[in-house]
Amino acid sequence: MKLLTPGSELDGFTIGECIHSGGMAHIYHVTYAQGRHNPGFPMAMKVPRMASGDGAENIISFEVECQIQQVLAGSHVPRFVAAGDLERMPYLVMEYLAGRTLQHWLDAPQPLDVNVITRLGVAMARAAHALHLQNTVHLDLKPQNVLFRPTPGATEPAPAAQPLGAFGAAVLLDFGLSHHAHYPDLLAEQLRKAVGSPAWIAPEQVVGVRGDPRSDVFAIGVMLYQLCTGELPFGEPQTAAGMRQRLWIDPVPPRKRRADLPAWLQEVVLRCLEPEAAKRYPSAALLAFDLSHPTQVHVSERGTNTQATPFLTHVKRWIKAAGMHYQPSPVPSQQIEEVPIVMVAVPYRDATDATLYSLRQAVARSLGTRPGARLACVTVIPSSLSNTTSEERSETQLHRRYLTQLHQWAQPLDHPGRQSSCHVLESGDVAQALLDYAVGNQVSVIVMGAATHGLKTQRFIATVPIKVAMDAPCTVILVKQTLPFAQLAGAAEDDTDPRGGALVDPRGPGAALYGDDLGPLG
Amino acid sequence: MMVGLYRAEFSDMKLALLSDIHSNLHALQACLAHARAQGAQQFAFLGDLVGYGAQPAEVLECIMALQGEGATVLRGNHEQVTLAPPDVVQQIGDMGAQWTHSQLSTHQRNWLAQLPLTHDLGAVLLVHASVNEPERWRYVDSPMAATASLDAARAWPQVRYVFGGHVHAQTLYYRGAVGQLMPFQPQAGVAIPVPRHRQWLATVGSVGQPRDGNPQAMYALFDQSAALLTFHRVHYDHAAAADAIRRAGLPQFFATRLEAGR
C-alpha cells in the first residue's frame, strides 16, 4: 500500500498528515471532505499495509479490528466512524484521541509513585472490564495499546507536558487480535497457536485459548509489574518455547527489585500474573476494586515474599504445565457474571434488628450461588456528624466507630475464601454517595433495605432506595424484612413495616397497626 | 438481461431463509411474521416443507402463494418420501409420509415433484442438504462435510454463500486463519458480518422441528448489501402445533418432541 497524499480525497474523507507509519499500518489525520459536518471530534484513518509479500495474518487482523471496532461502545474505546471495503480499499476511520499511551509512564526517568501506579492500574482495569461486558476480550493489551485521556477539562499544557499524576480514563486501542464471542473468530485455527505480543501474552493464549477475559487481567498484571519495577516479568521471548515458560515460572517478586513497594501491591500484581487463569482475579472489576482499596487487600505470602521461587517448585510446575492444552472459553459476559461485586448499603442508624437481619439474609442469598463473588459493605454517614473541634466526634473516631459496627454486622457473612470489605462514606446525599460508589467500583448488584434510610419521609419525597433503584447502573435488590422482631416483642417501633406486622399481630388482622402510618409502599 | 436485472435487485433485499418447516403451520406463520417485521422482502424455502407435522396442505398453500410472489422453493428428502411413500412402514417417519401423501391434492403433489434441488441467486447458492450430490441428502454437520459442500459449490464460480438446512441446527462455517473451515455457534438475534471476500456456509436450522432442547422456531435472515447474516429464534404456539398432531392421529412422539424441542 503506497502512502496517501495529504490533501487527496478518499470515500468522502480528506487525507491529512500521516501521524504514524508502522509495520502494520499507516495512520492519517482526516476530515470529512466538503459538504459534510465533522462529527465533533477529530478523526484518524488507519490504512493497513497490504503490499504483496505482506502476511495474510495482517489482513485478517485488520478485518477483525474493523468488525469489532464497529460494535464497541463507551468511553473506553475510540468511536467508530467508517470502514472501507476490504476488497477495494481497506481502511478504518475512527475517533482520534489526544493523550499519552502507557509507554509515557514507563519512559519516566525515576521510579513511579505507588499512588500513580495504582491509579493507572485502576484506569486500565476499568477499561478492560467495560470491554468484557461487551463480550469482547482484547488479547493484545500492552503499553502502546493503552492510551490515557488528558485530565477532564485540562486543555493546557499539552498532554505530553502534563505531570505524571495527571491523566483521565484509559482508552484501549487496536483490536486486531481481539475476540468477540458473538462473531466467528477469524484468527482461530485448528492447530492452536499463540497469537499475541510475546512480553504481555497470557499463558493460556500461548496454548491457543482465545476469549478468556482473565487473559487481559494477566496483561494488565505485566504492565503493572513494569510500572513497579521497570522490568518485564517474563522478558521478551522470541520463541514459542520461550513464551511457554510463563506456564510454570514465577516472576521475580517486584519487592525484590524495588524494596519500597508495599506488600499489598505485590500481592495484587502477582495475583494477576498467576499462570492458571482460575487463580487470577476472576474479573477486571475485582482487580480495580483491590487497587482502589489497598487497606482491604488480603496480603498473603505472595505479597510479602521477596525471594525467588525455588528451582524444585518450578520443576514441579513444569511437569504440570506440560499437560496444559487448549480449552474453549466461556462467553466473557457470562463468565464475569459469575464473579459479581455485591454491594450492600447498611443504614448507620434507625434500622431495626429485623431489617438488619433480613438485609444479611438477602446478601447471603445473593452470594450463595457464586463462590467467586466479592462483598462490599457500605455505610453512609452525613458529613455534619463529624466535628473538627470535638475529639470524640472527630472524623477518624466516627469512621472507626461505624466501621466496627459494620464489621459486626457483616461477620456472619464471613466465609473462608470470600473477599469482603467494609467502607464508611461521608456525604450529605446518601443516595448519590451509594450510586457514586457503585459506578466507581463496577458493582454488579446493590442490596439495600426497601424501607431504610429515612422511612418516615417515604410518602413525601423520593426516598433513598427509590432514587438508588432509578439511577443505579446495575441490578438493585430491595429487601423487605421477613420477620418483624419488634412486633413479636410486642412493642411497635416506628421503623417496622406495618403490613408485615399485621400478619403476626396477636390482636388479629387489621388491628391498630393499620393506622395512619400505612404508606403507599406498605 | 432480465436475469442480470433481477440479481441486481435481489442483492439489495433482505432474504429470509426458512428450512425444514415439516408441516408446522404455526411455526411457519410465526417465522414469516417475524421476518417481515425485520424487513425481509424475499423468502427462500430450503426443502422439507412437509413430514412429521399436522398441516401439510395448509403449509404448501402458504408457500405456493409466496412462490407466486417470487419466493424460491427447494425440494428436500421429505418431499421425496411423500411423493413415493413406502408401502411397508419400517420406521416412524414412514407412517407420517403415507399420511402426508393422503393429505395433499394432486396439484400439490405435482408441484412438489417439479421443485429443484438447488437454486442459485448469483453470490448465493441454496440447497436442502449438501451441494455435494444434493440428491444423496448428506448431512452437513461437521467442518469436513461443510468443506465437501463448499467445494462442490465451485461449479458456480460466483457463489460466495451456501445456505442449507436438513440438519435442524444453526451453524455458520467460515474459513479460519489457515483456510480450513471452522464451525461457529451463532447467538440468536446477533447480526454477523459475512463479508463477500470470504466463503461462507450456513445451516439455517429448522422452522418446524427444532431439536436442540429449545422449542423456538429457527430461521436466518441474510442482508446481502450489508453482508450481514442473522440467525433468529422465534417463539410460536408449539402447544397448538402439538395438539394438531395429536388430533390428526399421528404418532404421539411427533407432538411431544415439538413441546420439548427435541
- pLDDT tens, position by position, B72-119: 999 999 999 999 888 777 776 677 888 999 999 999 999 999 999 999
Q: What is the pLDDT of residues B2-40, one digit of tens each?
A: 343 444 445 568 999 999 999 999 999 999 999 999 999
pLDDT average, residue stretch B199-204: 96
Q: If pLDDT is split at 50, 70 and 90, which confidence band does A181 have?
A: very high
Mutation test of the interface with chain A: which of B170, B182, B194, B200, choosing the one with the most A Cβ atoms within 10 A?
B182
Query: Residue A511 pLDDT more than 50?
Result: no
Contact B192 A86 (CB under 8 A): no
The pLDDT value given to residue B200: 96
Residue B88: per-residue pLDDT? 73
Question: What distance in Å separates residue A241's CA from the closest CA in chain B?
Answer: 22
Spans of all domains in chain A: 9-95, 100-153+165-335, 340-483
Q: What pLDDT is attached to residue A246?
A: 83
**pLDDT over 70 at A381, yes or no:** yes
Beta bridge partners of B164: B203
| Three-class secondary structure of residue A366 per DSSP | helix
Which pLDDT belongs to residue B93?
67
Residue A354 in this model has a pLDDT that exceeds 60:
yes
Q: What is the pLDDT of residue A449?
A: 83
pLDDT higher at A136 or A58? A136
pLDDT of residue A390: 64
pLDDT tier at A193, thresholds 50, 70, 90: low
What are the b/e assignments for A142-168, b being 16+ CB within 10 Å? bbebbbbbbeeeeeeeebeebeeeebb
Q: Mean pLDDT across the stretch A479-488?
A: 62
Which residue in chain B has the smallest CA separation from A59? Answer: B177
Extract the runs of DSSP E, i.e. beta strands, from A265-383: 341-345, 374-381
Per-residue pLDDT, B244: 96
Write the pLDDT tens digit of every residue in A230-240.
Answer: 999 998 888 87
Confirm or reject CATH 3.40.220.10 for domain A9-95, answering yes or no.
Answer: no
**For residue A520, what pLDDT band results from cuts at 50, 70 and 90?**
very low
The distance from CA B175 to its chain's CA centroid, rounded to whole angstroms, is: 23
The rounded distance, in Å, linking the Cα atoms of B173 and B185 is: 9
Q: What is the pLDDT of residues A159-178, one digit of tens each?
A: 667 788 889 999 999 999 99
Q: Burial, A18: exposed, middle or buried (Cβ in 10 Å; 0-12, 13-18, 19+)?
A: middle
Mean pLDDT over all residues of chain A? 82
- Phi and psi at A284, nearest 5°, equal -65, -30
Weakest mean pLDDT among A223-227, B91-95, B134-138: B91-95
C-alpha cell belonging to residue A373: 463473588
Output the pLDDT for position A61.
Answer: 87
Architecture of domain A100-153+165-335: Orthogonal Bundle (1.10)
Q: What is the pLDDT of residue A498?
A: 40
Q: All 3 cell numbers of residue B240?
A: 397448538
Output the pLDDT for position A510. Answer: 37
- pLDDT (average), residues A482-498: 48
pLDDT at res. B209: 96
Q: Cβ(A106)–Cβ(A79) under 8 Å? A: no
Any idea what the Cα angle at residue B106 is, between residues B102 and B108, rounded to 5°? 90
pLDDT digits (tens, 9 = 90+) for A67-123: 999 999 999 999 999 998 887 888 999 999 989 999 999 999 989 999 999 999 999
B261: which 3 cell numbers?
424441542
Dihedral (Cα; A371, A444, A118, A396), 10-degree rounding: -90
Residue A67's SS3 state is helix
User: Is the CB of residue B206 less than 8 Å from the CB of residue B31?
Assistant: no
Report the alpha-carbon distance of residue B171 to residue A5 in Å, rounded.
44
In this structure, the strands spanning B217-223 and B228-234 are: antiparallel
What's the confidence (pLDDT) of residue B55?
96
Q: Give the angle subtended at the CA of A487 by the CAs of A483 and A489, to the nearest 5°.
A: 105
Task: Give A287-313 pLDDT, tens digit per residue.
Answer: 999 999 999 899 999 999 888 877 778
Residue from A180, A182, A195 whose CB has the most chain B CBs within 10 Å, to mutate: A182
* CA neighbor of A375 nearest in space, from A308, A327, A315, A447: A447
Contact yes or no for A150/A159 (Cβ under 8 A): yes
Q: What is residue A105's predicted lDDT score, i.e. its pLDDT?
A: 96
Local confidence band at A128 (pLDDT 50, 70, 90 cut-offs): very high
The CA–CA distances, whole Å, from A367 to A346, A371, A399, A420, A448 equal: 16, 7, 26, 11, 14
Contact B29, B62 (CB under 8 A): yes
pLDDT of residue A480: 78
pLDDT band, very low/low/confident/very high, at B156 (cuts 50, 70, 90): very high
Per domain, the residue ranges of chain B are: 12-260
From A308-317, A385-394, A439-448, B136-145, the region with the lowest mean pLDDT? A385-394
Residues of chain B neighbouring A70 (CB-CB closer than 8 A): 193
pLDDT at residue number B13: 84
pLDDT at position B236, please?
97
Chain B residues whose CB is inside 8 A of the A185 CB are 176, 182, 184
Distance CA B214, CA A270 (A): 43
Within 8 A of B174 by CB-CB distance, chain A residues are 184, 186
Could you tell me the pLDDT band of residue A515, with boundaries at 50, 70 and 90? very low
Rounded mean pLDDT, A175-182: 93
Which of 2.40.170.20, 3.60.21.10, 2.30.30.110, 3.40.50.720 would CATH assign to domain B12-260? Answer: 3.60.21.10
Q: Measured between CB atoms, does B226 come within 8 Å of chain A?
A: no
A145 has pLDDT over 90: yes
All three cell numbers of A10:
478518499
pLDDT-based confidence at residue B46 (cuts at 50, 70, 90) = very high
Amino acid letter, A199? A
* B177·A63 Cβ contact <8 A: no
Tell me the angle at which helices B106-113 and B56-68 cross, rounded to the nearest 10 degrees: 60
**Of all residues in chain B, what percent are helix, strand and coil, respectively (each to 5)?**
35, 20, 40
Q: Which residues of A touch B161 (CB under 8 A)?
A: none
Predicted confidence (pLDDT) per residue in A390-439, tens digit: 666 667 788 888 888 888 888 888 877 678 888 888 888 888 999 999 99
CA of A87 to nearest chain B CA: how many angstroms apart?
A: 7
Compare all CA atoms of chain B with the CA of A177 and give the residue at the minimum distance.
B177
Across chain B, how many H-helices and E-strands are there? 9, 12
Confidence of residue A490 (pLDDT cuts 50, 70, 90): very low
Which DSSP category does A309 fall into? P
Question: With an 8 Å Cβ cutoff, is B195 touching chain A?
Answer: yes
The pTM is what? 0.81
Extract long-range pairs of A128-131: CB within 8 Å, 24+ residues apart.
Answer: A128/A172, A128/A213, A128/A216, A128/A217, A128/A220, A128/A284, A129/A283, A129/A284, A129/A285, A129/A288, A129/A336, A129/A442, A130/A74, A130/A75, A130/A76, A131/A72, A131/A76, A131/A77, A131/A172, A131/A216
- Smallest Cβ–Cβ distance between A87 and the set B190, B193, B197 belongs to B197
- The three cell numbers of residue B195 are 463479508
Spell out the residues 6+ positions from residue B109 whose beta carbon is closer than 8 angstroms to its own. B82, B83, B101
Rounded CA separation A339/A366 (Å): 11
State the CATH architecture for A340-483. Answer: 3-Layer(aba) Sandwich (3.40)
- Residues A243 and A194: beta-carbon distance below 8 Å: yes
Q: Which of A385, A419, A421, A418 is nearest to A401 (CA)?
A: A385
Using a CB–CB cutoff of 8 Å, tell me whether B1 touches chain A. no
Helix or strand (DSSP H, E) at A477: strand A475-479
Q: What pLDDT was estimated at residue A253? A: 95
At residue A88, the pLDDT reads 81
**What's the confidence (pLDDT) of residue A192?**
61
Alpha-carbon distance A403 to B227, whole Å? 58
Beta bridge partners of A376: A343, A421
